[in-house]
C-alpha cells in the first residue's frame, strides 16, 4: 500500500474478530510509531497502557462509548469486541495538555495497525471510572482509548451530500458508511 492507500484504508472499525489475539509485542511496535511522532516543545508527555488479555480487556470495555450516531446500537457484541487496547495517557507532570500530540500519535498507531491487517477505533467517550478500573496513578490522565483487532466489518467512505449531514450509517450487509466532505468544500479560496 502506498501512503494514499494506507490513509484511505485507515477507517474507524468497531466490530472485530475478538478470538484473534493481538500480542503485546505488536502493541509495543505500534506504540513505537507513536513515540517517533512530533510533539509540541518535544515534551513527549504521552504514555501508553496496553491490554490484550480477556481479563484486562474486560476491565476496559464497559467504560467505553461507541458510535454516538447509532444510538440504537449498544456497541460491539461479545465475540466482536476489540482483542486489544492502547490507552493513551497524559503525564500531567510533563505537560498540562497534549491534544495535538495525541492526534498525531494516535494516527501513527492506526496507520501502523492498518498496514499489518488490523483495524482500530479511537474512543474519547470514556467513563470517569476507567482510571480506577485500571489502577492508574493520579498523575496519568486518560485522554483516549484505541480499540484494536482484526476487523469484522467493512467501512466505506461516501461523499457527504450538500445537506451538511456528516452522520455515518450502516446497511444490513454490515457495511459502515462514513460521509466525508468534498475537497472543494474544505478548501477556502483566498
Ligand atoms: C478524537 C476522536 C474521538 C473519537 N471518539 C469516538 C468515540 O468515543 N466512540 C466512537 O465510536 N468513535 C469515536 N471516534 C471515531 C469517529 O467517530 C470516526 O473517526 C468518524 O466517524 C470518521 O470515521 P473514520 O475514522 O473512518 O474516518 C473518534 C474519533 C476521533 C478522531
Contact between 75 and 67 under an 8 Å Cβ cutoff? The reply is: yes
Q: How far is the CA of 45 from the centre of ligand 1 (A)?
A: 22
Q: Is 9 helix (H, G, I), strand (E, B) or coil?
A: helix
Residue 121 CA, ligand 1 centroid: distance in Å: 6
- Residue 170, domain extent: 156-190
pLDDT tens digits, one per residue of 57-101: 999 999 999 999 999 999 999 999 999 999 999 999 999 999 999
CATH number at residue 117: 3.40.109.10
Mean pLDDT confidence for 38-52:
98
Ligand 1 pocket test, pick from 121, 149, 167 with the greatest ligand atom count within 8 Å of Cβ, gives 121
Give the pLDDT band (50/70/90) at residue 42.
Answer: very high
Residues 50 and 86 in one domain: yes
Q: Give pLDDT, residue 104.
A: 98
Mutate to test the pocket of ligand 1, among 122, 147, 153 (most ligand atoms within 8 A of CB): 122
Q: Whose CA is nearest to atom 6 of ligand 1?
A: 123
50 and 135 assigned to the same domain: yes
> Alpha-carbon distance 69 to 142, whole Å?
23
Q: How far apart are CA 105 and CA 101, in angstroms?
A: 6
Same domain, 166 and 190: yes
**17 in the same domain as 43:** yes
Q: Does residue 87 share a domain with residue 168?
A: no
* 82 in the same domain as 170: no
Same domain, 137 and 162: no
Number of domains present in the structure of the chain = 2
User: Are both 34 and 63 inside the same structural domain?
Assistant: yes
Q: Same domain for 187 and 123? A: no
Listed as own residue / partner, the contacts of 53-62 with beta carbons closer than 8 Å and 24 or more positions apart are: 56/85, 56/134, 57/81, 57/82, 57/83, 57/84, 57/85, 59/133, 59/134, 60/85, 60/87, 60/130, 60/133, 60/134, 60/145, 62/127
Confidence of residue 161 (pLDDT cuts 50, 70, 90): confident
* Total residues found in the chain within this entry: 190
- pLDDT at position 164 is 83
Cell match 500531567: residue? 92
| Residues 94, 57 within the same domain | yes
The pTM is what?
A: 0.98
CATH number at residue 183: 2.20.180.10
User: Ligand 1: does its nearest atom lie under 6 Å from the Cβ of 123?
Assistant: yes
* 139 and 174 housed in the same domain: no
Amino acid at each position: 500500500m502506498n501512503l494514499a492507500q494506507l490513509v484511505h484504508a485507515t477507517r474507524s472499525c468497531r466490530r472485530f474478530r475478538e478470538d484473534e489475539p493481538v500480542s503485546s509485542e505488536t502493541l509495543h511496535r505500534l506504540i513505537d510509531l507513536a513515540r517517533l511522532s512530533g510533539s509540541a516543545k518535544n515534551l513527549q508527555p504521552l504514555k501508553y497502557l496496553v491490554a490484550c488479555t480477556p481479563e484486562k480487556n474486560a476491565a476496559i470495555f464497559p467504560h467505553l462509548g461507541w458510535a454516538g450516531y447509532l444510538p440504537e446500537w449498544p456497541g460491539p457484541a461479545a465475540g466482536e469486541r476489540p482483542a486489544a487496547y492502547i490507552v493513551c495517557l497524559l503525564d500531567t507532570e510533563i505537560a498540562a495538555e497534549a491534544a495535538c500530540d495525541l492526534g498525531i500519535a494516535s494516527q501513527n498507531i492506526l496507520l501502523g495497525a492498518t498496514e499489518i491487517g488490523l483495524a482500530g477505533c479511537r474512543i474519547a467517550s470514556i467513563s470517569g471510572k476507567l482510571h480506577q478500573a485500571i489502577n492508574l496513578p493520579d498523575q496519568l490522565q486518560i485522554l483516549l482509548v484505541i480499540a484494536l483487532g482484526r476487523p469484522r466489518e467493512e467501512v466505506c467512505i461516501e461523499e457527504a451530500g450538500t445537506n451538511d449531514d456528516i452522520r455515518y450509517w450502516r446497511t444490513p450487509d454490515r457495511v459502515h458508511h462514513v460521509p466525508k466532505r468534498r475537497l472543494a468544500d474544505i478548501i477556502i479560496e483566498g
